[in-house]
């Protein structure tokens, strides 16, 4: 059995979106689960729309999520000599021809076809042209598509696909400036790169018969195709930014982990029993392209966030600390870090949320929650004053000591632990919710905690 070789071939006209990354992931898993090769090709023949920044962002995205491609990145813009050679070969073999159709001729043909309610298409008028070429027209090159019969292939997702040859016209393979067209270069590159299996979105399905025409004309082996349904938004329409979808590197900036993105994407179109959690190792062991879904999947933001929180919880604190540097969080003492991170892991779905919660804890409250403050009275003031005196004579250098101190104080003063905690929460954090009070006292340390408690005491009249 020949080695499986797949590819991902984005156009650098914009940043890599998650639909593209999902295609890349499926292609990667299909090859790597069979000890094959996964290649990256940048389809940058459209010089007017290409962006160096987009190309860089695509490579960055691959590095970030950890999808390793084999060999060097292939750039189509560096392969024009190869395409020209094959264009000339087809011309020499009478499998392609120069078409001298003028704009006026094209407009006239379209009007005529529209009047007859026909699908606008080229009518092959220059297919066997023997006359003198018009001097004022820079010709395009068209391939000779079959005039009858069928074009068929077995799709790994959709099953047997059959197209009438008459549906494919003599399409352009080289523009009037000599530059090659998409379907032509894709077929050539896939053949020359030895691509055995092509996994792509089913928006490319209509391109496949044209590419098969090119394969056949050049005597190339046709790869196995898998056309995967598009990702839909929750409302059933094509996924877009209004559904919350972003470019891959925007997810990094928003605090998503690469493991969560890959896990989320692999489940949009593939499943294995009832499992939801898959790291890359699991995917490589269990993925089978024959199990790709034939119906579209819906983007579920809640599930995405749930997965992201799962991976945040799974990440060791020392690794989290490194990741959080990008969000303005700097080094902590190990004991402080572990207490703080273990509390926030259960309360954060993204690293951005994680970092914001840390910043909120270390920034002293500028004001107090009005509902909580309204319940403060002179008794509250006395409790807090007594608590300040109590902690002055106690050590707060471990979480266990602090927890014991809190309970010891409430027993001595014969007050409910909940009452003390509520008052301390207002003093230390200024609002309801957040991490535990013992943990807050530990990470803020005695002096900062005392300063915040004094501020609340001074505010109660």
306 alpha carbon, distance to own chain's centre: 16
Specify binding-site residues for ATP.
Answer: 241
Q: Is residue 256 part of a domain?
A: yes
Whether residues 147 and 18 share a domain: the answer is no
CB-based contacts of 414-417 (< 8 A; 24+ apart in sequence): 415/383
Which one of 178, 201, 228 terminates a domain?
Answer: 228
Domain count, the chain: 3
255 alpha carbon, distance to own chain's centre: 13
Helix (H, G, I), strand (E, B) or coil at 225: strand
Whether residues 224 and 234 share a domain: the answer is no
Task: Give the integer Cα–Cα distance in Å for 287 and 285.
Answer: 6
Residue 319 contacts by C-beta under 8 Å, 6 or more apart in sequence? Answer: none
Helix (H, G, I), strand (E, B) or coil at 7: strand
Q: What is the CA radius of gyration of the chain?
A: 32
Q: Is residue 311 part of a domain?
A: no
CATH number, domain containing residue 68 = 3.40.50.620
Whether residues 242 and 168 share a domain: the answer is no
Which one of 197, 228, 259 terminates a domain?
Answer: 228
Q: How many CB atoms lie within 10 A of CB 78?
A: 10
Which structural domain, as residue segments, surrounds residue 52?
A: 5-75+230-306
Whether residues 124 and 59 share a domain: the answer is no
Given a contact cutoff of 8 angstroms between Cβ atoms, the answer to whether 8 and 18 are in contact is: no
pTM (predicted TM-score): 0.91
Whether residues 255 and 285 share a domain: the answer is yes
For 256, the token pair is 């998503």
Q: Tally the C-alpha atoms within 13 A of residue 183's C-alpha that lie toward its C-beta.
A: 19
Work out the angle between the directed axes of helices 334-345 and 437-459 (0-180°, nearest 10). Answer: 90
Helix (H, G, I), strand (E, B) or coil at 224: strand
Beta strands 197-201 and 224-228 are parallel
Q: Is residue 372 part of a domain?
A: yes
Whether residues 345 and 433 share a domain: the answer is yes
Task: Give the integer Cα–Cα distance in Å for 8 and 21.
Answer: 9
Whether residues 353 and 436 share a domain: the answer is yes
Give 3's DSSP letter: P
Residue 25 phi/psi, 5-degree rounding, is -65, -45
pLDDT (0 to 100) of residue 53: 79
Work out the angle between the directed axes of helices 378-392 and 417-429 (0-180°, nearest 10). Answer: 80
Q: Is residue 186 part of a domain?
A: yes
Helix/strand number for the chain, H first, E second:
18, 12
Task: Give the integer Cα–Cα distance in Å for 296 and 223.
Answer: 24
Reading the chain (461 residues) residue by residue, the pLDDT tens digits are: 579 999 999 988 777 889 999 999 999 999 999 999 999 999 987 766 667 778 888 899 999 999 999 999 999 999 999 999 999 999 999 999 999 998 888 889 999 988 988 888 899 999 999 888 888 899 999 999 999 999 999 999 999 999 999 889 999 999 999 999 999 999 999 999 999 999 999 999 999 999 999 999 999 999 999 999 999 988 888 888 777 788 899 999 999 999 999 999 999 999 999 899 999 999 999 999 999 999 999 999 999 999 999 999 999 999 999 999 999 998 899 999 999 999 999 999 999 999 999 999 999 999 999 999 999 899 999 999 999 998 888 888 899 999 999 999 999 889 999 999 999 999 999 999 999 999 999 999 999 999 999 999 999 88
Specify binding-site residues.
Answer: 241
Q: Is residue 158 part of a domain?
A: yes
Whether residues 220 and 249 share a domain: the answer is no
Task: Give the integer Cα–Cα distance in Å for 448 and 300.
Answer: 42
Region for 143 from its dihedrals, namely left if φ exceeds 0, alpha if ψ lies in -120 to 50, beta otherwise: beta
Whether residues 324 and 398 share a domain: the answer is yes
Whether residues 88 and 216 share a domain: the answer is yes
Which one of 286, 306, 326 terminates a domain?
Answer: 306
Given a contact cutoff of 8 angstroms between Cβ atoms, the answer to whether 186 and 212 are in contact is: no
Q: Is residue 207 part of a domain?
A: yes
Q: Which of 135, 142, 148, 134 is nearest to 94 (CA)?
A: 142
Whether residues 83 and 224 share a domain: the answer is yes
Task: Give the integer Cα–Cα distance in Å for 267 and 61.
Answer: 19
Whether residues 93 and 69 share a domain: the answer is no
Given a contact cutoff of 8 angstroms between Cβ atoms, the answer to whether 167 and 209 are in contact is: yes
Q: How many CB atoms lie within 10 A of CB 10?
A: 23
Residue 151 phi/psi, 5-degree rounding, is -115, 120
Q: Is residue 312 part of a domain?
A: no
């Amino acid at each position: 059995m020949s080695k499986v070789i797949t590819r991902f071939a984005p156009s650098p006209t914009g940043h890599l979106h998650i639909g593209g990354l999902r295609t890349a992931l499926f292609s990667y898993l299909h090859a790597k689960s069979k000890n094959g090769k996964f290649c990256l090709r940048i389809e940058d023949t459209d010089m007017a729309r290409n962006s160096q920044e987009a190309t860089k962002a695509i490579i960055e995205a691959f590095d970030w999520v950890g999808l390793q491609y084999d060999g060097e990145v292939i750039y189509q813009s560096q392969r024009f000599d190869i395409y020209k050679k094959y264009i000339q070969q087809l011309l020499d073999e009478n499998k392609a021809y120069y078409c001298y159709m003028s704009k006026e001729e094209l407009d006239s043909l379209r009007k005529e076809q529209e009047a007859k309610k026909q699908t606008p298409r080229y009518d092959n008028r220059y297919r066997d042209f023997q006359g003198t070429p018009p001097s004022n027209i820079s010709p395009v090159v068209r391939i000779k598509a079959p005039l009858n019969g069928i074009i068929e292939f077995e799709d790994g997702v959709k099953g047997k696909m059959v197209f009438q040859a008459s549906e494919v016209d003599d399409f352009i393979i080289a523009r009037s400036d000599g530059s090659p067209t998409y379907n032509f270069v894709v077929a050539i590159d896939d053949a020359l790169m030895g691509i055995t299996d092509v996994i792509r979105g089913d928006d490319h399905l209509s391109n496949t018969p044209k590419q098969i025409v090119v394969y056949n004309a050049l005597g190339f082996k046709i790869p196995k195709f898998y056309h995967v349904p598009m990702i839909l938004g929750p409302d059933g329409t094509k996924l877009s930014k209004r559904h919350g979808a972003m470019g891959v590197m925007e997810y990094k900036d928003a605090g998503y982990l690469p493991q969560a993105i890959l896990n989320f994407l692999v489940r949009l179109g593939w499943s294995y029993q009832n499992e939801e959690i898959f790291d890359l190792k699991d995917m490589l062991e269990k993925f089978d392209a024959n199990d790709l879904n034939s119906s579209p999947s819906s983007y579920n933001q809640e599930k995405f966030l749930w997965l992201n929180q799962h991976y945040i919880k799974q990440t060791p604190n020392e690794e989290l600390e490194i990741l959080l540097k990008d969000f303005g969080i700097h080094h902590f003492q190990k004991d402080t870090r572990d207490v703080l991170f273990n509390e926030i892991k259960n309360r954060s779905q993204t690293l951005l949320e994680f970092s914001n919660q840390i910043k909120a804890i270390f920034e002293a409250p500028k004001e107090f929650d009005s509902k909580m403050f309204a319940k403060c009275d002179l008794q509250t003031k006395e409790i807090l004053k007594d608590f300040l005196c109590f902690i002055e004579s106690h050590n707060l250098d471990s979480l266990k000591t602090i927890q014991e101190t809190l309970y010891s104080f409430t027993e001595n003063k014969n007050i409910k632990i909940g009452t003390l905690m509520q008052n301390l929460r207002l003093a230390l954090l200024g609002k309801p919710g957040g991490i535990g009070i013992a943990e807050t006292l530990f990470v803020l340390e005695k002096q900062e905690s005392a300063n915040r408690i004094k501020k609340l005491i001074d505010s109660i009249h």
